[in-house]
Structure 1
Amino acid sequence: MNEGRKEIIQIVFVLVAFVFLIKLFFIQVVDDRYAQLANSNAILRQIDYPVRGLIYDRNGKLLVYNTPEFDLQIIQREVKNLDSAKFCEVFSMTPAGLRQSFKELKAKKEYSPVKPTIFLTKLSARDFAKIEDNIDEFPGFYIQARTTRAYNAQAAANAIGYVSEISKTKLERDKTGIYKQGDYIGQSGIEAFYEQYLRGTRGVRFKLRNVDGIEKGSFRDGEMDTLSTPGQDITSTIDLELQKYGEFLLKGKSGSIIAIEPKTGEILSMVSGPSYDPTLLTGKNYSSNFVLISNDTNKPLFNRPLMAQYRPGSIFKIAQAMVALQEGVITPETRIRCDRSIIDCHGPHTNEDLRGAITNSCNPYFWGVLRRMLNQGKSNNPFDDTRVGLAEWNKHMSSFGFGTRLGIDLPNEKRGLVPSPAYYDRAYGGRPWKFSNIYSIAIGEGENLVVPLQMANFAATVANKGYYITPHLVKAIGPSGKPLPAYVEKHFTTIDSAYFRVARDAMERVVEAGTAQYRAKLKDVIVCGKTGTVQNEPRPDHSVFIAFAPKENPTIAISVYVEFSGQGGRAAASIASLMIEKYLYGATKRPQIEEYVLKGKFL
């Protein structure tokens, strides 16, 4: 009997010991809360945020740099007898604002009463100077240093983009584990596309503290610290002075200007109007300013050079001409009568050859060109014949980069539209269609859609006699001094280079004696260009112009869209020629044209 009791008691002791061992294992190994409680009073873990890479213009002028910013962190377990009145005075808060901050603190996903959690964000250097002498009066509160973006010029906002705290949605989608709540991330422009190069790598420091919370140096002489790695600097392709001039000319107008160096595809200037002041999207007023900018009916965050899709208008006639030449349905000497009973036209001309038709922007001529292109007699059925011709036309047009994303190093680029047989099959719901249904695409109207970037790239392609390099905004990343590999590759069109000479000659005549002669002609350089007046019923037409200069060894290609401004030879041609002058000579030699643009009375 006693032996049985003895065994039971032994078993009970073993079981109790086993339970204690399991509990001890969980406390010491699995659950780190007790370790945190033990260490939190003596050791403070601080994030060492990396310095984000700088951004320069093509000439080495600093565009974007970093400026100090501070977050106020709290370890709530250490907050004792908070003097809320004094706290509100030091931090310029109201009692209601302080209560709201505590309420929001506990709602944060990362909140822990024993770990540092952000309480106030985006304190400026001025704020820090004000509170530095008082922070020791508030046990449990600590300053975390970091940096934010600052700008040397209020220019190129849509191209450069902005940086802000990573959203919960993006954080949930991040599979790399690189980002934590509170980290800053590029949200648009260069800042977003080159985020992996600009961001750097986060580090961590462990600080010893005494019982009063005062820092006493590094824990274990920094043995456990990891240093942050700064982001890589970037040299952009932007010419700051040209960019500022373009924004000056487009002020008060809606539209875009894109200038490209043809041989390299480097974007010299990318202006979206209206735009915004990039300094508004920094600091503690970021949220309120972002709401104001986002709700602006002028859409300053809408990057028109990449995202606005317009009909191309008469500038498309250059591409139509080269496709028809390649297909052999016309020659440079082909004459087509300007029959205005077929389609309306403008200007005094009657029976032009190809160069004359481009010079005078003859609509009936290009109606006839497209008809020859689409109806080559390859099928006895007129509907099938048009399908075959349109498929070939689409192939050539797509080789210029129309109807597809070019692949610029910015997010949110749109495709535009070059209609295909499949497109019209959908549009007509399976019913047959032929040339007479779609002829408006001959003059850049109808279903054609382009983004301004594509038209600037097209001008560069003509300047290069048949190839383009994908337009891009970054010239060099870090010490390598090179762009990404995608931005050095040549893309050739399906058009023989000989036909580009015809296009170049015709574009020269447009400026010398055609629709652009009054405002685009320059005294000392040959400008090759083409005007466009894009229908926009019921509102006024859009003014469009593409150009490159000089004719031989061109160094700049440009497209200009000015919304609701009428004829292409007015607003757009004027702005483009002023930009060319600025780039080639440093200033305009025609102040009267600049004054005309700034007045903005184009209709």
Structure 2
Amino acid sequence: MNEGRKEAIQIGFVIVALIFLVKLFSIQVLDKRYLELATSNAIIPVRDYAIRGLIKDRNGKILVYNTPEFDLLIIKKEVKNLDSAKFCQVFSKTPEELRKLFKDLRARREYSPVKPTIFLSQLSTLDFAKIQDHIDEFPGFIIQPRNTRAYTTKAMANALGYVSEISKSKLEKDEEHFYRQGDYIGQTGIEAYYEKYLRGRNGVRYKLRDVDGNDKGSFDKGAQDTLSIPGQDLTTTIDKDLQEYGEFLFKGKSGSIIAIEPESGEILAMVSGPSYDPILLTGRNYSANYKLISTDTNKPLFNRPLMAQYRPGSIFKIAQAMVALQEGVITPDTRVRCDRSIIGCHGPHSNEDLRGAITNSCNPYFHNVLRRMLNKGKSDNPFDDTRIGLEEWHKHMTSFGFGQPLGIDLPNEKKGLVPSPAFYDRAYRGRPWKFSNIYSIAIGEGENLVVPLQMANFAATVANRGYYITPHLVKSIGDSNKPLPQFQEKHYTTIDSANFRIAVDAMERVVEAGTGQFRAKLKDVIVCGKTGTVQNEPRPDHSVFIAFAPKVNPKIAVSVYVEYSGQGARAAAAMASLMIEKYLYGGTKRPQVEEYVLRGKFLD
């Protein structure tokens, strides 16, 4: 029994030995792949960068595309007898700059003397043309192609955003371990919000290099390579022609224009002024240009449509009117005398009904409306009575999307402010407060704050007679032909649609016979709008206007906010009506209004 077991073990050893001998023979004699490896220096992994997705406008016009650039990689161990003078000549570097490049290389976390590491980045096609015939003179250096962003327009830089090298802090937060040092990532705007769709997936190609540093082609005929997967293209909601026209009108001004298609929530134009040329934040001069742009006192990187928080001014009176109607404290026929001893007003009018008060933007009327709203006598204590009323008012106001981020598909959206009882408790540090302390919110002043996007969304909500779809900039991702799910849902306000019809009629009268008649009125379409003049002491007031058109089946809703430009009936109303004309008819029929806007002397 033991003898049989012993023989079996011996036979097993013999079989294993034969297997090893056959494998060794195969490796050393039959398989030339390993012979090639034995005489080569290394298998070099080279990133195959994915092509980033294109960004197009709603009509298929390309806004953002890719253009080639190149990185110079170094494998430090393979660098031998470097002719530094020749290197400096070819790559246009000084000896001091070259020494600094080597010093910085060793300090980088990802540096390894036996692996490819970026030595020079973002070489242009012109740079590549100058160096490609000399690269073989510098053993240990490899040219790696990649892509950078390019633009067909200088418009909407803040909305599109920019792409640059990933920072160390973002790299540390990358839980997917998708990125490596030197990779590009969307930093702001659409590029950042839709990064995971645009970026694609990088691949790896394995290259053979012999002991002299010569490229011997692909390892294993490319069988071990992983191909890159291109990113998905985005079709935006933006109308390129309308966007460029808005930026043309806004040249030399500060503020914003936002145009929305009410039915869908699609943003047709988003102008932030002043802006910058997006091409400045690409290529090798990115760092220098970014420093100049970011320190510009005009703040061109500040995306005003989403990040600027202003008092809304008189456009808030439309919302005030609907809340008061909903709560039953007024009717469309309620009249209030324009008592200017209570609060200042403007223009000749007196004892107006609701439509007349909106048409003439009567401050005493809306002072009275808010008092009725906040002091309904639900408590004998005037302080508690105001608190109860303000709680109800706050509920209605936030249903319009005020006082909270709307959830647009861009980063850094601010929420504005609709003051609540809790807010005033903090502001007054526990001391009692009542209507007489807070009445300025009745006319869109005081503590109210809105971002321009919220004003445009409010105009779209009125146009829809009671609902909005979250404003968004991307119409479809890849071949989906639809936006993300959250941009397809209707959000209804707490206000009955009947009350919106009253607001629509009043906004029509504002343009036909009220404060907006001189520059917002159009011949062939009914425009519904509301002017606003926002106090900004000691500097000039801000000019504000919201509108939509046509009155029936609206196609476009607009908000315009022009800083330091005085009355809303001037700069903002003129620009809004020009944007409506451009979108509906392809251009303006009122060249004198366009000239007025371009001249920019709104305070004269």
TM (norm. structure 1) is 0.93
Overall identity of the aligned pairs, in %: 80
Q: Is the 8 A contact 1:50 1:203 kept in 2?
A: yes
Match of 1:16 in 2: none
Tell me, in whole angstroms, the C-alpha distance in 2 between the residues paired with 1:43 and 1:383. Answer: 79
1:326 positional shift: 0.1
* Residue correspondence of structure 1 range 182-581 to structure 2 within 5 A: 182-581=182-581
Q: Match for 2:494: what amino acid?
A: T
Tell me, in whole angstroms, the C-alpha distance in 1 between the residues paired with 2:140 and 2:576. Answer: 60
Number of aligned residue pairs: give it: 567
1:213 positional shift: 1.9
Match of 2:17 in 1: none
SS at match of 2:446: coil
Q: Is the 8 A contact 2:40 2:211 kept in 1?
A: no
1:216 positional shift: 2.1
1:211 positional shift: 3.1
Match of 1:143 in 2: 143
SS at match of 1:479: coil
Q: Is the 8 A contact 2:58 2:239 kept in 1?
A: yes
Cα 1:375–1:168, aligned 2, differ >3 Å: closer, same or farther?
same
Q: Is the 8 A contact 2:39 2:210 kept in 1?
A: no
Q: Is the 8 A contact 1:40 1:115 kept in 2?
A: no
Tell me, in whole angstroms, the C-alpha distance in 2 between the residues paired with 1:599 and 1:479. Answer: 44
Q: Is the 8 A contact 1:72 1:120 kept in 2?
A: yes
String of CA shifts for 1:58-100, please: whole Å, max 9, x gaps: 0000000000010000011111111111111111111111111
Match of 1:87 in 2: 87
SS at match of 2:441: helix
Q: Match for 1:575: what amino acid?
A: M
Tell me, in whole angstroms, the C-alpha distance in 2 between the residues paired with 1:105 and 1:208. Answer: 24
Q: Is the 8 A contact 1:267 1:471 kept in 2?
A: yes
Tell me, in whole angstroms, the C-alpha distance in 2 between the residues paired with 1:588 and 1:518. Answer: 15
Tell me, in whole angstroms, the C-alpha distance in 1 between the residues paired with 2:98 and 2:588. Answer: 56
Tell me, in whole angstroms, the C-alpha distance in 1 between the residues paired with 2:489 and 2:87. Answer: 59
SS at match of 1:432: coil
Tell me, in whole angstroms, the C-alpha distance in 1 between the residues paired with 2:142 and 2:496. Answer: 68
Tell me, in whole angstroms, the C-alpha distance in 2 between the residues paired with 1:66 and 1:593. Answer: 39
1:176 positional shift: 1.1
Tell me, in whole angstroms, the C-alpha distance in 1 between the residues paired with 2:551 and 2:497. Answer: 15
Match of 1:22 in 2: none
1:131 positional shift: 0.5
1:307 positional shift: 0.2
Match of 2:181 in 1: 181
Tell me, in whole angstroms, the C-alpha distance in 2 between the residues paired with 1:239 and 1:39. Answer: 59
Match of 1:105 in 2: 105
Q: Match for 2:230: what amino acid?
A: P
Tell me, in whole angstroms, the C-alpha distance in 2 between the residues paired with 1:93 and 1:216. Answer: 30
Tell me, in whole angstroms, the C-alpha distance in 1 between the residues paired with 2:378 and 2:201. Answer: 62
Match of 2:18 in 1: none
1:43 positional shift: 1.7
Q: Is the 8 A contact 1:342 1:364 kept in 2?
A: yes
Tell me, in whole angstroms, the C-alpha distance in 2 between the residues paired with 1:394 and 1:314. Answer: 18
SS at match of 1:483: coil
1:148 positional shift: 0.5
1:481 positional shift: 1.2
Q: Match for 1:125: what amino acid?
A: T
SS at match of 1:146: strand
SS at match of 2:196: helix
SS at match of 2:479: helix
Match of 2:66 in 1: 66
String of CA shifts for 1:258-315, please: whole Å, max 9, x gaps: 0000000000000000000000000000000000000000000000000000000000
* Residue correspondence of structure 1 range 109-124 to structure 2 within 5 A: 109-124=109-124
Q: Match for 2:600: what amino acid?
A: G
Tell me, in whole angstroms, the C-alpha distance in 2 between the residues paired with 1:383 and 1:211. Answer: 87
String of CA shifts for 1:525-554, please: whole Å, max 9, x gaps: 000000000000111100000000000000
1:224 positional shift: 1.0
String of CA shifts for 1:544-599, please: whole Å, max 9, x gaps: 00000000000000000000000000000000000000000001110100000011
Cα 1:77–1:133, aligned 2, differ >3 Å: closer, same or farther?
same
Runs of at least 5 residues in structure 2 that lack an aligned partner in the other structure? 1-36
Match of 1:24 in 2: none
Tell me, in whole angstroms, the C-alpha distance in 2 between the residues paired with 1:387 and 1:38. Answer: 84
1:39 positional shift: 9.5
Q: Is the 8 A contact 1:409 1:472 kept in 2?
A: yes
Match of 1:8 in 2: none
Q: Is the 8 A contact 1:531 1:573 kept in 2?
A: yes
Tell me, in whole angstroms, the C-alpha distance in 2 between the residues paired with 1:215 and 1:96. Answer: 30
Q: Match for 2:308: what amino acid?
A: A
SS at match of 1:431: coil
Tell me, in whole angstroms, the C-alpha distance in 2 between the residues paired with 1:46 and 1:429. Answer: 62
Q: Match for 2:137: what amino acid?
A: E
Q: Is the 8 A contact 2:40 2:208 kept in 1?
A: no
Match of 2:587 in 1: 587
Q: Is the 8 A contact 1:272 1:305 kept in 2?
A: yes
Cα 1:40–1:328, aligned 2, differ >3 Å: closer, same or farther?
farther
Q: Match for 2:105: what amino acid?
A: L
1:480 positional shift: 1.1
SS at match of 1:531: strand
Runs of at least 5 residues in structure 1 that lack an aligned partner in the other structure? 1-36
Tell me, in whole angstroms, the C-alpha distance in 1 between the residues paired with 2:218 and 2:100. Answer: 34
Q: Match for 1:371: what amino acid?
A: R
SS at match of 2:520: coil
Q: Match for 1:195: what amino acid?
A: E
1:40 positional shift: 8.0
1:482 positional shift: 1.1
Q: Is the 8 A contact 1:165 1:185 kept in 2?
A: yes
Q: Match for 2:586: what amino acid?
A: G
Q: Is the 8 A contact 2:39 2:211 kept in 1?
A: no
SS at match of 1:442: helix
SS at match of 1:568: coil
Q: Match for 1:378: what amino acid?
A: K
String of CA shifts for 1:349-369, please: whole Å, max 9, x gaps: 011000000000000000000
SS at match of 1:41: strand
Cα 1:356–1:212, aligned 2, differ >3 Å: closer, same or farther?
same
Tell me, in whole angstroms, the C-alpha distance in 1 between the residues paired with 2:476 and 2:429. Answer: 49
Q: Match for 2:49: what amino acid?
A: Y
Tell me, in whole angstroms, the C-alpha distance in 2 between the residues paired with 1:226 and 1:174. Answer: 22
Cα 1:79–1:440, aligned 2, differ >3 Å: closer, same or farther?
same
Match of 2:14 in 1: none
1:44 positional shift: 1.7
Cα 1:39–1:482, aligned 2, differ >3 Å: closer, same or farther?
farther
1:41 positional shift: 2.0
Tell me, in whole angstroms, the C-alpha distance in 1 between the residues paired with 2:38 and 2:418. Answer: 68
Q: Is the 8 A contact 1:311 1:534 kept in 2?
A: yes
Cα 1:165–1:584, aligned 2, differ >3 Å: closer, same or farther?
same
**Are residues 1:131 and 2:131 paired?**
yes
Q: CA RMSD in A?
A: 1.0
1:233 positional shift: 0.3
Tell me, in whole angstroms, the C-alpha distance in 2 between the residues paired with 1:491 and 1:367. Answer: 29
1:38 positional shift: 8.3
1:207 positional shift: 1.1
TM (norm. structure 2) is 0.93
Q: Is the 8 A contact 1:40 1:114 kept in 2?
A: no
SS at match of 1:119: strand
Q: Is the 8 A contact 2:322 2:495 kept in 1?
A: yes
Q: Match for 2:360: what amino acid?
A: N
Q: Match for 1:62: what amino acid?
A: I
Tell me, in whole angstroms, the C-alpha distance in 1 between the residues paired with 2:261 and 2:38. Answer: 63
Q: Match for 1:214: what amino acid?
A: N
